[in-house]
């Protein structure tokens, strides 16, 4: 009993099981139909019975038991020397791993079944240091070796599904295309082609979700238009493929319905006029309502989640009065139909004794009652759902029901219970930080819709009280930033310590937290003595000024704007944010800022008080809200550095990741040569062709380094795949940096990225700086928010290292370098010095 209650993560609004049954049925037929003639009937009957048993176990939610049963089937087929049976059993095991959310394991067994090398499933930098084009070509070559067998078609189709779940959407498309070509050449029956079409449509939909997420975070009109075109192409391709599905009960209609509802939110995605769309919606809903027995044609566990998906779609329709009137023109209430399907799913889940499925059904029932205005019934079912989820440690859905309860309590002004529910929700999210936020790439694309609002609503609730708990608000914001960074990196759990829980809390400088909520912004100050103060900011004025300042700062023509005209925006921001809290701050010294994503591209040192820029008064550092490594000051007599730079056009410039605007950086040679003279004996320099990933990685492992200085093109983006630095041979993405910068020491003391820049038009691009710092294990990172003129950058870097050699702490050394440039009439303009930031430890 316990085995079937283990946690497994679902995909596409809990339709993870939909489609699994089709593959399983085909594999059972395949294994039965290709028995070896020399084996005895009893031997093959035993192997086949194990295959059938695993099939039943999976569709009853017993994923671990199914995997073990198919493992036994594999051994039985191996004794029979039945290669097809062995491959089929491995593919079946991958289905059990998929249903359990164990996609890396599913990938590995599929690679074994397909007799391919495991580079496709690995995160090893050495194995994945290829451009997108090179990776696709390498994969295509590997796929050419696949024999024309039915079992290989099924295996490739499942590999395409797994690669999609692992977030490798391009590889998923290549594998599914190969599987489709093989199916046509083998003239396989329509059921095979339907499976492939379903998988290809699902990949297209995930590509749409990815594009939609990128569109939402971009501000640059040209960039948004490009991403919009991609999103439109993907969603229309997916919709067309779902329409072409035949002989599959329920699923095509459900998928089409879901996409049409998505288009309702973003009608520009399609050329289909609103009347036609609404008519299609009406037809699909009618088909599903008038033929409920179609759900019975699905395996039981699939039927449960299919009906719940339909109930959720009906609930969504009910929230749009115009859409509701169009689809239910006879005046029927879609919520009543939704309640019927949700209750039916709940009964089926109880028959299966599947607590997870019952939890999801009960929670859906509770949400429907909430929409009907029946608060007591809603609470009853949500509490049941939460209890069931907690009993089987299904934290990835327990948080949803806790969140809904919090909203219900808040709606009825029961703030104490609402606070308890939100606290419990965030505590639950903490438990799944290593799974739901990283295993399923869909969460990355939906983070802003399904995770971030939990933290923001709790902070809003807290701040709405007469005596808000500001310390709780701070800790909540820090947890949100860590969850956001983990999702960005798609990594496991990051080790984090709240600044206010730091062992050195008594010695902390003043900390300013800038928090962006739904319709407002807050500044919270923690003084050196530990007192907390709050200021609510006029967000409309702030938003306009920040937008103007950031877009201007990313413009190459910034230097042409007179300082007297330029300071309008930084002075407005200062007056809105800093002036009201200045009385709580010292006149000078260290100042730490913890910035919400909204503020991270803001050049804080450039803020203007009417007489001076902020950097004139303070050593400014940006905390990533946590210390990944214990604080440690540099020893000025032992600044051993690995210095690497690219001053010429190299092979990496040909990579598709690299913008065409990237040119040679001739000043880099002078910069890195100068810096080497300012570091300790034993420092290493790699320039141009010497700066290959292999050589760099070897130097990192051979030397006891405290500083890594990279003077090369790079880009920070809210998309981890577009956050990279250029080595001579290849771009190194943020995900690969942890391999490149691996060292035997407990982290790098200082990472300097002197020629990188944030992606234009991406307001969350500074998240890439935090991501690189986390992957590098760097206590402190110096980087620039925009690409600064080369000669001034060289001077600033020379002054930075001069300050470090003179024993200045890192934040003070950066300030010293910035002030030095300001004192030079040639470089006094903020363009030359204000873009440099220190992220992390200020010591």
* 8 Å CB contact between 54 and 96: yes
The 10s digit of each residue's pLDDT in 675-699 is: 999 999 889 999 999 999 999 999 9
Q: Which helix (H) or strand (E) holds 685?
A: strand 684-687
Average pLDDT score over residue span 463-481: 93
Which pLDDT value is given to residue 297? 87
Average pLDDT score over residue span 500-510: 68
Average pLDDT score over residue span 248-273: 92
13 pLDDT exceeds 50? no
Average pLDDT score over residue span 38-49: 79
Determine how many CB atoms are found less than 10 A away from the CB of residue 773: 25
pLDDT class of 741 with cuts at 50, 70, 90? confident
826: helix, strand or coil? helix
Which pLDDT value is given to residue 254? 95
442 pLDDT exceeds 90? no
Which pLDDT value is given to residue 489? 78
pLDDT class of 575 with cuts at 50, 70, 90? very high
Which pLDDT value is given to residue 783? 94
CA distance 192 to 183: 7
Which pLDDT value is given to residue 117? 81
What does the longest C-alpha to C-alpha distance in the chain come to? 93
pLDDT class of 249 with cuts at 50, 70, 90? confident
40 pLDDT exceeds 70? no
* 8 Å CB contact between 444 and 490: yes
Which pLDDT value is given to residue 644? 97
Which pLDDT value is given to residue 126? 42
pLDDT class of 418 with cuts at 50, 70, 90? very high
CA distance 769 to 783: 7
CA distance 424 to 419: 9
Determine how many CB atoms are found less than 10 A away from the CB of residue 78: 14
Q: Give the DSSP letter of residue 574.
A: I
- The CATH number given to 641-840 is 3.40.50.1460
771 pLDDT exceeds 90? no
Which pLDDT value is given to residue 124? 44
The 10s digit of each residue's pLDDT in 303-325 is: 999 999 999 999 999 999 999 99
Which pLDDT value is given to residue 434? 59
Determine how many CB atoms are found less than 10 A away from the CB of residue 655: 17
Determine how many CB atoms are found less than 10 A away from the CB of residue 575: 18
Lowest mean pLDDT among 47-61, 472-486, 732-746: 732-746
pLDDT class of 28 with cuts at 50, 70, 90? low
Which pLDDT value is given to residue 37? 44
The 10s digit of each residue's pLDDT in 84-110 is: 999 999 999 999 988 877 888 999 999
pLDDT higher at 498 or 777: 777
Asked if domains 260-392 and 641-840 share a fold, the reply is no
Check whether domain 260-392 has CATH 1.10.357, yes or no: no
Average pLDDT score over residue span 162-183: 90
Average pLDDT score over residue span 135-161: 87
User: What distances in angstroms separate CA 300 from CA 21, 346, 350, 714, 833, one per listed residue?
Assistant: 10, 12, 12, 51, 64
CA distance 176 to 205: 14
Which pLDDT value is given to residue 702? 86
The 10s digit of each residue's pLDDT in 385-400 is: 999 999 998 888 899 9
Residues making up the chain, counted from first to last: 843
The 10s digit of each residue's pLDDT in 712-734 is: 999 988 888 788 999 999 999 88
Q: Residue-wise over 249-276: b if at least 16 C-beta within 10 A, else e?
A: bbbbbbbbbbbbbbbbeeeebbebeeee
**Of the ranges 92-96, 116-120, 565-569, 813-817, the best mean pLDDT one:** 813-817
Which pLDDT value is given to residue 5? 32
Report pTM: 0.86
| Mean pLDDT (the chain, rounded) | 87
Helices (H), ranges, 372-394: 375-391
What are the two backbone dihedrals, phi and then psi, of residue 789, each rounded to the nearest 5 degrees?
-50, 140
23 pLDDT exceeds 70? no
Which pLDDT value is given to residue 482? 86
Average pLDDT score over residue span 334-354: 95
Determine how many CB atoms are found less than 10 A away from the CB of residue 108: 20
CA distance 409 to 421: 8
Query: What is the percent of the chain with per-residue pLDDT over 90, rounded to a whole number?
Result: 58
557 pLDDT exceeds 90? no
Where do the structural domains in the chain lie, given as residue ranges?
A: 260-392, 641-840
Q: How far apart are the first and last CA of the chain?
A: 55
Q: Give the DSSP letter of residue 576.
A: I
* 8 Å CB contact between 499 and 628: no
Which pLDDT value is given to residue 627? 47
* 8 Å CB contact between 208 and 258: no
Average pLDDT score over residue span 812-822: 98
């Amino acid at each position: 009993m316990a085995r079937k209650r283990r946690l497994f993560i679902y995909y596409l609004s809990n339709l993870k099981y939909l489609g699994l049954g089709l593959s399983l049925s085909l594999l059972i037929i395949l294994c039965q139909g290709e028995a070896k003639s020399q084996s005895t009937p009893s031997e093959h009957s035993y192997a086949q019975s194990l295959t059938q048993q695993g099939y039943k176990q999976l569709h009853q939610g017993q994923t671990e038991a199914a995997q073990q049963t198919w493992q036994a089937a594999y051994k039985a087929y191996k004794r029979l020397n039945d290669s097809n049976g062995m491959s089929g059993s491995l593919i079946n095991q991958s289905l059990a791993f998929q249903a359990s959310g164990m996609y890396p394991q599913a990938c590995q067994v599929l690679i074994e079944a397909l007799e391919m090398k495991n580079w496709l499933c690995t995160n090893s930098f050495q194995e994945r240091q290829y451009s997108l084009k090179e990776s696709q070509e390498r994969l295509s070559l590997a796929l050419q070796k696949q024999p024309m067998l039915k079992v290989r078609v099924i295996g490739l189709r499942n590999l395409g599904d797994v690669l999609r779940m692992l977030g490798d959407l391009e590889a998923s498309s290549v594998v599914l295309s190969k599987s489709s070509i093989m199916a046509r050449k083998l003239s396989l029956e329509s059921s095979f082609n339907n499976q492939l079409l379903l998988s290809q449509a699902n990949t297209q939909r995930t590509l749409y979700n990815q594009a939609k997420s990128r569109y939402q975070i971009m501000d640059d009109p040209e960039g948004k238009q490009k991403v919009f075109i991609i999103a439109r192409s993907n969603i229309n391709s997916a919709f067309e493929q779902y329409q072409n599905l035949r002989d599959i009960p329920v699923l095509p209609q459900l998928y089409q319905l879901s996409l049409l509802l998505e288009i309702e939110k973003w009608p520009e995605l399609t050329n289909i006029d609103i009347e036609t769309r609404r008519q299609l919606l009406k037809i699909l809903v009618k088909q599903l309502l008038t033929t409920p027995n179609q759900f019975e044609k699905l395996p039981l566990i699939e039927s449960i989640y299919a009906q719940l998906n339909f109930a959720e779609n009906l609930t969504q329709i009910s929230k749009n009065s115009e859409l509701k009137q169009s689809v239910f023109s006879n005046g029927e209430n879609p919520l009543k139909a939704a309640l019927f399907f949700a209750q039916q799913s709940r009964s089926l889940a109880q028959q299966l004794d599947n607590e997870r499925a019952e939890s999801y059904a009960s929670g859906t029932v509770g949400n429907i009652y909430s929409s009907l205005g029946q608060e007591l019934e809603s609470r009853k079912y949500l509490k049941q759902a939460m209890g069931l989820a907690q009993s089987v440690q299904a934290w990835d859905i327990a948080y949803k029901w806790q969140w809904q309860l919090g909203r219900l309590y808040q709606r009825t002004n029961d703030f104490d219970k609402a606070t308890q529910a939100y606290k419990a929700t965030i505590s639950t999210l903490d438990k799944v930080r290593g799974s739901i936020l990283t295993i399923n790439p869909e969460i990355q694309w939906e983070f802003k819709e399904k995770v971030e609002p939990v933290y923001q609503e709790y902070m809003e609730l807290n701040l709405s009280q007469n005596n808000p708990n500001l310390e709780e608000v701070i800790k909540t914001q820090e947890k949100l930033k860590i969850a956001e960074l983990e999702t960005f990196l798609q990594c496991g759990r990051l080790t984090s310590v709240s600044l206010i829980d730091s062992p050195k809390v008594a010695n902390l400088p003043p900390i300013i937290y800038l928090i962006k909520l739904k319709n407002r912004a807050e500044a919270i100050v923690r003084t050196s003595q530990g007192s907390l103060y709050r200021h609510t900011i006029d967000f409309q004025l702030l938003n306009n000024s920040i937008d103007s300042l950031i877009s201007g700062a990313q413009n190459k023509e910034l230097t042409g704007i007179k300082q007297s005209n330029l300071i309008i925006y930084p002075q407005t921001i200062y007056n809105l944010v800093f002036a009201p809290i200045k009385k709580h701050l010292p006149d000078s010294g260290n100042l730490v800022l913890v910035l919400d994503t909204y503020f991270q591209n803001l050049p804080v040192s450039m803020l203007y008080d009417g007489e001076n820029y902020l950097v004139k008064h303070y050593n400014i550092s940006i905390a990533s809200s946590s210390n990944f490594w214990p604080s440690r000051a540099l020893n000025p007599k032992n600044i051993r550095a690995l210095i690497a730079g690219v001053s010429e056009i190299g092979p990496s410039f040909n990579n598709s990741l690299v913008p065409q605007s990237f040119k040679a950086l001739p000043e880099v040679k002078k910069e890195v040569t100068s810096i080497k003279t300012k570091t300790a004996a034993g420092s290493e320099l790699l320039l141009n062709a010497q700066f290959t990933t292999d050589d760099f990685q070897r130097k990192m492992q051979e030397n006891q380094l405290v500083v890594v200085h990279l003077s090369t093109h790079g880009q920070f983006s809210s998309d981890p795949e577009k956050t990279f630095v250029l080595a001579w041979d290849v771009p190194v993405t943020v995900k690969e940096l942890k391999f490149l910068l691996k060292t035997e020491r407990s982290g790098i003391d200082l990472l300097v990225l002197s020629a990188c820049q944030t992606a234009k038009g991406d307001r969350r691009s500074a998240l890439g700086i935090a991501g690189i710092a986390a992957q590098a294990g760097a206590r402190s990172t110096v980087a620039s928010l925009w690409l600064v003129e080369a000669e001034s950058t060289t001077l600033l870097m020379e002054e930075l290292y001069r300050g470090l050699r003179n024993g200045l702490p890192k934040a003070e050394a950066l300030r010293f370098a910035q002030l030095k440039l300001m004192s030079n009439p040639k470089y006094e303009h903020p363009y030359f010095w204000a873009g440099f930031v220190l992220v992390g430890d200020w010591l």
